[in-house]
Every structure is written in C-alpha cells, then in structure tokens.
Structure 1
Amino acid sequence: MMRHSLRLRLVAGGIVAILIALAVAGGGLVVLFERHVSRTLAQDLEVHLKQLIANIDLDPQGKLVLMQTPVDPRFADALSGLYWQVGDDRGQLLRSRSLWDSAMKLPADRLGPGETHQHEAVGPGAQRVLVAERAVTLTANGNPVIVRLAVAEDLARVSAATSAFAKDLSIALVLLGGVLAVASWVQISVGLRPLVALRGGVADIRAGRTRHLPSSVPSEVHPLVEEVNALIDAQEAEIERSRGRAADLAHGLKTPLAALAADAERLRNRGEREIARDIEAVGESMGRHVDRELARARVRGRTRGNAASAAVRPLVQSIVGTLSRTPDGARVSFDNLIGDDLRVPVDRTDLAEVLGNLLENATRHSAGVVRIKTKVGRPCIVIEDDGEGIDSTHLARALERGARLDERGGTAGLGLAIVQDVLDAYDWGLQLSRSKLGGLMATIGPRSALIEKAGVIGSERSPSSSVAQPQQA
C-alpha cells in the first residue's frame, strides 16, 4: 500500500535527486581540488626553476657551474620525489643528488626564449612526475651556449592529497545528504499538509460536523475544493428532491389508507368482522411502512452536513411526562438518572423518535419500574424495565420490516426497524440484553462504545449487526 503513497514517491524522488546532485558535486569538487593542487605544485616548481636559473653559469673553461643549489632539502635525498637537472647542447649535465645515478628523460620539444614548459614524464623508479623546464642562453668565449634547466616532482603528492580530500569530502557529503533528506521530508510534509486538512474536512462532512470543505486553502488545491463543494451541493440537492418525492408518495398514501380504514369500519358495522380485521391488518402494515419511509427520508436529509446536538435529560423528561398520561404510563414509576450535562450528536427530533419508541415499549412491558441511565465511561443511553423480557425468537423478529416488540395492537410505534434506520444515519447502534431489573435492557450509542460481546442491532452492512440471544426473563 505504501507504494501508492504520494508522500513516499515525492520523498523517494527527492532522495534520488539529492544523491545524483551530491555525486555530481562530489566528483566536481574532487576534480577542482586536484587541479588546484596541481597548480600549486607547478608554482612551486617555477620557484625552484627560477632559483636554478639565478645560480647557473659557465666558468672560463666553458663548464656548467651551479653556484648555489636550491635550498629544499629533498633535493639532497635519494629518490625523494623532488629533482632538478641542468644540461647544455654540448652534452654537459648537472643533476640533483636525489636523482642518484639516473637522469630525467625530457621530451625533445623546442623551448623559446623565456618559455616554461610543463608536462608529465617518467622519473626515477618509474615515478610519474610533473616537469617544469626552461631554456636559457649563456656565452662561453664569445660563443652562445643553450642551457636547458628542468625541475620535477613526484605526482604521488597530488594523488595522496586528492584521496585524503575525497575521503573527508565523502563524510561531509553523507552528512549533508542526511540533512537534505530530512529537509526534503519536512518540506514535503508541509507541502502536503493542505491535503491532510482536506482529508480531515471530508471526515468532518461525513461526521456531520460541517457541510463544506474550508475555502482557505492554497491556490493549487482551491479548484479541487470548489469542485468537491459543488459536488456536495449537487448531491444535497438531489437528496432533497428524493426526500420530497418520498414524502409526497408517503403522504399520498395516507388518504387511501384512511379511506381503507373507514371501509373496514363500515364492514365491521355490517357484521363482516373477519374481512374488516384483515383489511385493518393490511392497512396497519402499510401505515407502518409509510411511517418508516417518512422517517428514513427525513433522517437521511438531516444528518447530511448538519451538526445536530441534543440535551438528553430534558428530552427524556418530556417523553416521560407524555407517557405518564397514558394508561400504561400511569402505573409505572420512571427513574431518570441521566445527567444534566449529557448531550449527544443527534438531532433532537430523531433522538425523540428513538427514545420515545424505546420508552413506550419499556412502559408497555414493565411491571412497575422503567429506568433511564447512562453507561459509566461510555456515551450510551440505557433504558431498562422490570418486565418479562423478550424471547429470543421475538428478538430475532425485531429487525424485520414492520415488526413490533409485541402484537397486542392498540399502538402505532415506529418499530425497531425504524429505530435502526435512525441510528444508522448517525453511525449508532442498538444493543438488547437482559436487565438486572429482570426485563429488557436497551442500550443506544456509538458503535465503538457498545460492548462487542452483546448483540447489537444496527446497520445491515455492519458485521456488528448480528442478533443477540438474551435469556428470557
């Protein structure tokens, strides 16, 4: 997966470019250093050559005489690497002690007056030497004598200095490469930070904390942000149209269902009770489907890009106050243990629909106590009663479309299937288990906060939506 990483590609490309640049720079610096050392060596040879020229002369008999030898002590050490040699066109030859019993073989080039030639040659012991030579004209008994003076030095000095420089330079380049690699990583990370912010913005949109990506982004990614925001607006408009069509269809079915109920009532009054009961069952089932589709259409539109939040305790108190005025609620004691500061990221109307359905079911099945509380350390809401609980077969049917916790009639609840749709829109789940009071305990909350080992009723696409099998109370 890392091979598809843009950051990794940029870093790898930067490291390759750094290595190439350092290799080229290192090679160039070594060449420049070698040329610098060679020029320094040539300058030293020029100095020695001038010393020879200043001290060479001819005696009255025409013999070459060196009045003073160069001061460098290496000229006196055998095969020291520094040599001088003076010869004329009559075969006379003077040489440094460092040449011992050998002579330098100079190229047969013509030297003009005042010209200094430099070239490489083979010196004593097969050494590679750099030679600087010049020709001067002396007079012996009125006759001109051409004297050729040469100074040479072993090039091993240049090679050793270049090798030492290359070694030190390689260490410096490795350190420089490491610093440049880290700098490249930092630069790429800073450059990609807007993309990380965009990813966070998309996550906020999915979580309902915002509706659009922020527009305060670098100009390079601003067109992408505009296109994504335009796409979000287009999708929201399409969702709104779909919600409207679903609502229109559901409301359009309300009138026929009301007429069907009236027809069933007339049949009952005429004595056709069985037919009336069948028609009412069909109408009730269709009504639950209509209610469910209305709830789904509303929830899908509301949770899209809308950061909803609701205070739980006042909402529970409101629902409990309404249920207390019903025949079932009049015989139940409601124990509201929800804290005053608890808020959940769910729209108040949707949360009222979920809690109202669960509290109504708990009230109908309770023997006398319904408790509403939160789980310690988890943002979950728990509703439990002291009734008989739910048989495992009924629990399995709770997820079916149009199913209710019981079939006693007389109520018009949304059913757990609609609760599931509402919670799915907020990435929440419903967990059913046995209460310590003896009845059913229903827990709602974020999926990550629900206990994995218990059955969680949630999205049909989620692996955590398997149905638990709690024991019957």
Structure 2
Amino acid sequence: MKVIPLKLRQGLVSAVLLLLLLPSSFIAIEQAFQQQLITNAEQKMEVHMYAILSELHLTDGKIELNNNTLAPDFYRPDSGLSAFVSDGQQLLWQSDSSLNQAFVVPDIQLTPGQHIFYEMTQADSDYQILSIAFLFDSGDSAYPLAIHIVQDQALLLAPHQSFRSTLLRWFSGIAVGLLLLSILAYYWTTKPLTRLDYEIRQLERGKQEQLNGKYPSELKVIKEDLNLLLASQNRQKLRYRNHLSDLAHALKTPVAVLRTSPLAQQPELKEQIDRITAMIEHQLKKASSSGQDIWKKQTALLPLAEKLINALRKIYRDKDCVIELSCAEEAFFRGDETDMMEMLGNLLDNACKACHKKVRVRVEQHPLKLIIEDDGPGIPPTQRQELFQRGIRLDTYADGHGVGLSIVAELINSYSGTITIGDSELGGAQFTLTFLDEV
C-alpha cells in the first residue's frame, strides 16, 4: 500500500473541502431564494385575490368589478398576470390582460372558503395559480363562485436568473480567494516540514552533522531529540574506531613475532597464522562498517565501479579480460562507500578470476540491483550456498582464505539486502545483489 505524503494529504483535504462546501452552499442559497420567490408570488397573488373579492358586485345579473382599484398588470395585455371569475361551469369574468392569453380555467372542485396554490402547464407554458371558492351574497340569494389568479412562471425566471448570475460571480470570487488563501496557508504551514525534510536529506548525504534550522514549538522537540541521537551515534562510532585502532595496534606486534618464528615456517602453523590474520582483518572491517547506521550517505556508483574496473584491468592485464559496465550516472547506493567497495570489489575480483575473457556489470535502480556476470565455468546449484560459509572455497586459486564471499554476505545482510547466485547468459555465474530503496 502506497503511503500518501503529508503535504499531499493536506492539499487533498483542502481541495475536497473547497469542492464540497462551495457547490453545496451555492445550491442551498439558490434553492432558498427560489423558494422565497415562490412564497412572495403566492402572497402577492393572495393580495390581488382579496382586492378582486372586495370589488366584486352583481349588476343586472352579471358579475362586474370596479377596475379602478385593481393592479395595472390586470389591464396590460401579456403582462403575465391575469384573473378569472367562474361559477364552476362557465367563465363569468376575466381581466383585460388575459385576452391574448391561451389559458383555460381549470375545472377544480373546491368547497366554499377553500383556497389552494398550485402549478399547471398549458400550451407549453408554466403557470402558478391561486384559486379560492366562496359564496357570493347578492341579497336575495348566494352564488357559488371561484376566483383564479394566474401568473406566468416566466415572471420568476428573470429575478431568479439575475440572482443566480450574481451569486455565481460572488462564489467564483470567493472560490478564487479561498484557493489563494489555501495555497498560502499550505505553503506557510508546510514550510517547517519542507525545511526539516531538506535538512534530513543533507544529513543523509553527509553534508551536515546536525539539524540547525529554526522550527516551531511542535517540531522543536523532534529537532532536539534527533540532534541528541545523532550526537550519541557519532560518539559511539568514534569510540568504536578508537578501540579498533587500539586492537589493530595491539595485535600487530604479536602476529609479526609469530611470523618471524622458525615454527611459523611449518605449513600447518603458517596456514593457521594466515587464517588468524584474515579473520582479524575481516572482523575489523565488519566492526568498522557503517551497516545499519541511522543516517547513510548516498554513494555514487558509477565513479566507484569505474575505479574498481580500472584497477582490476591492471591486475589481470595478462589475462586480457573484457569488463563491461552498464550504470546510470545518477545511480547511488544509500550507504558507506567503503562497504560498497568491499562488496563490489570482492565479486568483481572473483569474476575476473573465474572468467575466460568477459565480465559484465549492470546496475539497476529502484530497487537497487548490482548484477555481476562472467563467462567462466559457473557454479553448480548444489554448491552455491556453500560459498557463503567462512573458509569454504570452490576454486583452486593459490591466494585467499575463503572469507571474501562471507564478508560480502554479512555486509549485504547488515543493509537488509539479499544476494543470489544464478546462471549467466555469458555461460558462467551470475551474482545479483538487491537492496531496498530505504534501508
């Protein structure tokens, strides 16, 4: 599972909040405004209805209204506002504004005193209607009548669209402003983390010894703890090196005395002294190895490999072996240069000893792989694991004590890496060293 960096997570959270909050707020405000428009329209239509009801009278058996008190929209054709009076069966009166309007009074059954507000579509036009039923008292009798106030819904579209355009402009400006503020806040809040990340990378590259930047209180404790850890590690490494130097100096004289002794010329004792010398060298290299240091330097592999190959070409110039190298310029090893030289040098030296004419070295990154091949006799599968045991040798070379590959294996293990032996396309053996990207 891939871990999302903290900075990216913060940016994603801000973006998601911005994308969710602004559209939802825009829709909520727009819907609220539209509902308010409808409510206001219903209230205005109710006022018109009571105005008509107050001016309604019967003359010579016909319904008439005193139009002087009605709203001007009822006189103006195509105003979008009209009124109708019916007795439930036929139309008794209609406003002047409805003369050019293709609207048919709906046939609805209402009880006296009941009024309803509803929407209706006729002839591809949408209308809002307020209807009320009542009993009209003419003195001698009461007539059941109904008043219908009709408003074209297009009257609501203009203010709604105007409000929506204004709201969209405001929200666009708010979105841009919030985006800029989010970007500024993002960089301002993550700046200490960016600086801390940079200093840690400088530590890994060995370009500084401790964290020196000024950090907020939340990161100050981490900075101090890391500096204490680094100082403790450096003191410990210095003690190890001093003790190893003392040990090497203390063993140097006794081993030299043993070598000059006449007894040391005996084959059995000479072999044992050589083994002791080799084991001392191995243990000194192993103890001084950086191994699982907390902060590792980044060692460029191309110049290191070229240096080793040039040296081996001089050593094996009589053999005239061809050593091919395939390594990207940016390839690096996250560890100590001495350790990599020990591992790669041992394997290249063995390959040059075993090859007939050709050795090939390939370096791959992510994860880091070093592949060393030769065109020699190869190594039988049943004997491959024995190579990593101390003192075991499968060749017949005069030099060496069988500890080279065991040193390589132990160094690789200290970096949490792996080494495998296989068959090369060149015909000989293939050694593959694999290291994790982060060790």
- When normalised by structure 1's length, the TM-score is 0.51
| Structure 2 residue 332 is the aligned partner of structure 1 residue 315 | no
- Corresponding residue of 1:36: 40
The alpha-carbon deviation at position 335 of structure 1 amounts to: 0.8
- Whether the 8 Å contact between 2:358 and 2:374 is mirrored in structure 1 is yes
How many percent identity over aligned positions?
A: 15
Instruction: In structure 2, give the amino acid aligned to 1:355.
Output: L
SS in 2 for 1:252: helix
The alpha-carbon deviation at position 160 of structure 1 amounts to: 8.2
Partners of 1:158 and 1:402 lie apart in 2 by 104
| Structure 2 residue 243 is the aligned partner of structure 1 residue 249 | yes
The alpha-carbon deviation at position 236 of structure 1 amounts to: 3.6
- Corresponding residue of 2:85: 77
Partners of 2:284 and 2:299 lie apart in 1 by 27
Residue pairs, 1:37-76, within 5 angstroms: 37-38=41-42, 40-41=44-45, 44=48, 72=74
- Corresponding residue of 1:284: 278
- Corresponding residue of 1:345: 332
The alpha-carbon deviation at position 358 of structure 1 amounts to: 1.9
> In the superposition, relative to structure 1, how do residues 447 and 21 fare at CA in structure 2: closer, same or farther (>3 Å)?
closer
Partners of 2:425 and 2:65 lie apart in 1 by 121
> In the superposition, relative to structure 1, how do residues 260 and 162 fare at CA in structure 2: closer, same or farther (>3 Å)?
farther
The alpha-carbon deviation at position 336 of structure 1 amounts to: 2.9
> In the superposition, relative to structure 1, how do residues 250 and 398 fare at CA in structure 2: closer, same or farther (>3 Å)?
farther
SS in 1 for 2:296: coil
Instruction: In structure 2, give the amino acid aligned to 1:242.
Output: Q
Partners of 2:146 and 2:238 lie apart in 1 by 98
SS in 2 for 1:333: coil
- Corresponding residue of 2:288: 294
Pick the structure with greater CA Rg.
Answer: 1
Partners of 2:306 and 2:83 lie apart in 1 by 107
- Whether the 8 Å contact between 1:402 and 1:415 is mirrored in structure 2 is no
Residue pairs, 1:150-299, within 5 angstroms: 198=194, 201=197, 205=201, 208=204, 232-262=226-256, 264-265=258-259, 269=263, 274=268, 277-278=271-272, 280-296=274-290
- Whether the 8 Å contact between 1:292 and 1:414 is mirrored in structure 2 is no
- Corresponding residue of 2:377: 388
- Whether the 8 Å contact between 1:404 and 1:416 is mirrored in structure 2 is no
SS in 1 for 2:238: helix
- Whether the 8 Å contact between 1:268 and 1:276 is mirrored in structure 2 is no
> In the superposition, relative to structure 1, how do residues 296 and 306 fare at CA in structure 2: closer, same or farther (>3 Å)?
closer
- Whether the 8 Å contact between 2:378 and 2:428 is mirrored in structure 1 is yes
- When normalised by structure 2's length, the TM-score is 0.55
The alpha-carbon deviation at position 244 of structure 1 amounts to: 1.9
- Whether the 8 Å contact between 1:380 and 1:443 is mirrored in structure 2 is yes
Unaligned runs of at least 5 residues, structure 2: 58-63, 76-81, 95-109, 117-129, 133-144
Instruction: In structure 2, give the amino acid aligned to 1:337.
Output: E
SS in 2 for 1:281: helix
The alpha-carbon deviation at position 396 of structure 1 amounts to: 1.1
The alpha-carbon deviation at position 161 of structure 1 amounts to: 9.3
- Whether the 8 Å contact between 2:84 and 2:93 is mirrored in structure 1 is yes
| Structure 2 residue 366 is the aligned partner of structure 1 residue 365 | no
> In the superposition, relative to structure 1, how do residues 26 and 392 fare at CA in structure 2: closer, same or farther (>3 Å)?
same
Aligned residues between the structures: 363
Partners of 1:278 and 1:284 lie apart in 2 by 10
Residue pairs, 1:410-449, within 5 angstroms: 410-411=399-400, 415-420=404-409, 430-443=419-432
**What CA deviation, in whole Å up to 9, does each residue of 1:405-442 have, x standing for no partner?**
66967437872344356667888765432345543333
- Corresponding residue of 1:333: 320
SS in 1 for 2:421: strand
Instruction: In structure 2, give the amino acid aligned to 1:294.
Output: S
Residue pairs, 1:390-409, within 5 angstroms: 390-392=379-381, 394-400=383-389
Partners of 2:284 and 2:392 lie apart in 1 by 13
The alpha-carbon deviation at position 333 of structure 1 amounts to: 1.8
